[in-house]
Homo-oligomer: A and B are copies of this chain.
Amino acid sequence: MVNSTKEIISPSYTSIDWKKIREDFPILKREVNNQPLVYLDNAATSQKPQLVINAIAHYYSYYNANVHRGVHTLSQEGTNAFEASRNTIKEFINASKTEEVIFTKGTTNSINLLAYSWGRKFVKEGDEIMISAMEHHSNIVPWQILCEEKKALLKVIPINEKGELIWEEFLRLLSDKTKLISVVHISNALGTINPVKAIIEEAHRRNIWVHIDGAQAAPHLQIDVQELDCDFYSFSGHKMCGPTGTGIFYGKEKWLEEMPPFEGGGEMIKTVSFEKTTYNDLPFKFEAGTPHIEGAIVLAEAIRYLQSIGLSNISTRENELVHQTTTRLKEMDGIRFIGTAIHKSSVVSFLVNNIHPYDMGMILDKMGIAVRTGHHCTQPLMDFYRIPGTVRASFSFYNNENDIDRLMEGVKKSIQMLS
């Protein structure tokens, strides 16, 4: 059950049988509208391999119990697996301590934790929080709420037409009032990979905190929070083959120690009396209430699965699929790509002529092809491009060339029907 992740050495790229990996995912055998499913909505949530599903069933059939503080065997086994998972995640992102790994409900929950706890302690009237023009609503709204309450200012790093941050503008926006920069590592709508390491360096030179929204990065890139030197990092388990309702908030220990608790309740206290309550040590201070035990334990199983393939192999494979898709879409008349950054990951967002993304999504669905259409929770970004949304095909390592063929057929057919 609980293996160390350290020993996993990823296989060489050429030795991987991608066709066989596909068979790990039971849902991919499904038919939709009488066609075998083509799932290209991975940026919204990933599918789960059989071993993750089995690990859930095993948890509930064998050692389900409430964790921490329990004396009995089930509780002890559950707690051991829960804390072992924390350790697996710590190693996965190369945090320096398990105390820095907080289980949350997802990226959104992680960012809200940061905004409520760190924000309420460190942000004062007139301070500035900096985000970018390509943020997901989850990395916009919590800061708007905070800024409104604290009378702080939200500054937005602009982007160019390709969907890249404009470096000079970023530098110009930095000021001695900037308290925190919170930017997305990989944009879910564009696929842009942002130069987060360079941003962190610039920020730290000025004693500015940096939070990275890694929701789209953790499933596709090898993350190393120590090498990045970010102060905070958030991501979601459900986007990386793990169960729904799981997420991680990473923070440097020294900051987490200084931050007040966010939610109050069981688990997060040391002692409670009506007169005085003292809070628990890290990481528990930030984990009020019964956690999503199944989710936390099984997330480690998902991570071991990803590691058994190797994150760098995963990136390579996905880049290949994105490259093929882009090349083939380019041949079509009237195609417009949204997001053409030089550094790009697993996402292809596009529009054709003036076909509404919703219409194309409907036709593709009729053909068994699942893509996402709409604003992808990045309305300000859509406003920048003056479009209502895009059609987005987002790839995972278990997609293949046949999926691309089917997507091309689908796009052609929708153009034909909708033009």
Binding site for B on A (CB under 8 A): 26-27, 30, 32-33, 37, 39, 41, 44-45, 47-48, 52-53, 56-57, 60-66, 69-75, 105-109, 111-112, 115-116, 136-138, 140-142, 144-145, 154, 156, 236, 238, 243-246, 261-266, 268-269, 271-274, 277, 288-295, 358, 361-362, 364-365, 369-374, 377, 379-380, 383
Contacts and interface: CB of A to CB of B under 8 A. Distances in A.
Copy tally for this chain in the complex stands at 2
Given A269-B141, A295-B244, A61 B69 contact: no
Nearest to A270: B379
Contact of A72 (B60, B269, B365): B365
A28 to B, nearest CB: 10
Q: Which of A26, A53, A60, A293 has the most CB of B within 10 A?
A: A60
Contact of A266 (B71, B137, B289): B137
A112 B47 contact: no
Contact of A48 (B60, B243, B274): B60
A380 B272 contact: yes
Contact of A362 (B71, B246, B266): B71
Given A263-B112, A370-B73, A41 B61 contact: no
Contact of A62 (B27, B236, B273, B294): B27
A74 B106 contact: no
The majority secondary structure among interface residues of chain A is mixed
Nearest to A47: B64
A405 to B, nearest CB: 18
A238 B290 contact: yes
A291 B71 contact: no
Contacts of A273: 379-380, 383
Given A108-B290, A264-B145, A370 B295 contact: no
Contacts of A107: 289
B75 A109 contact: no
Nearest to A113: B263
